[in-house]
Amino acid sequence: MLEMNRETLTRRWPALLASLEAAPEPDSAFLRTDTIAPTLDYEGIQLSSAYDRFNEASIQARLIPASSTKATVYGLALGDLPRILLARDQLEHLHVAVSYTHLTLPTIYSV
């Protein structure tokens, strides 16, 4: 998965990849949780649901009308919400606001 994600970023968003790679390394290590639905934990904060991350992402996606042509997601988490939204035929533009670039690259490479 790591190599596929890197290739996609290199091909489609080289400036984003350069920005992410230039971000400082996280101070703490990411830990994979030992929960019903494993997720990543960073300094005690789980980056997605530890129980049913796809269902919870689906609940969030329903907050955005299905007819919307544009949507904004604040934070990437493990990518479940953006993935669900990108599957919509009506959606033409998805903006992902990345606040913590030092957390984004390890997250992208882990899923």
| Each residue's pLDDT tens digit, 31-71 | 667 777 777 777 777 777 778 889 999 999 999 999 999 99
Q: Give the pLDDT score at 72.
A: 95
> Hey, which residues does 23 pair with through a beta bridge?
none
Q: Is the pLDDT assigned to residue 1 strictly greater than 60? A: no
Q: Give the pLDDT score at 85.
A: 96
pTM of this structure:
0.70
40 is in which domain, residue-wise? 2-110
Mean pLDDT of the chain: 81
In contact, 81 and 58? CB cutoff 8 Å: no
Q: Which whole-number Å values give the CA distances from 89 to 7, 28, 48, 93, 96, in the listed order?
A: 25, 39, 25, 11, 18
In contact, 95 and 72? CB cutoff 8 Å: yes
Sign of CA dihedral 61, 65, 68, 72: negative
In contact, 56 and 35? CB cutoff 8 Å: no
Number of compact structural domains in the chain: 1
User: Binning pLDDT at 50, 70 and 90, where does residue 91 land?
Assistant: very high
Strand order in the sheet with 40-42: 30-32, 40-42, 45-46
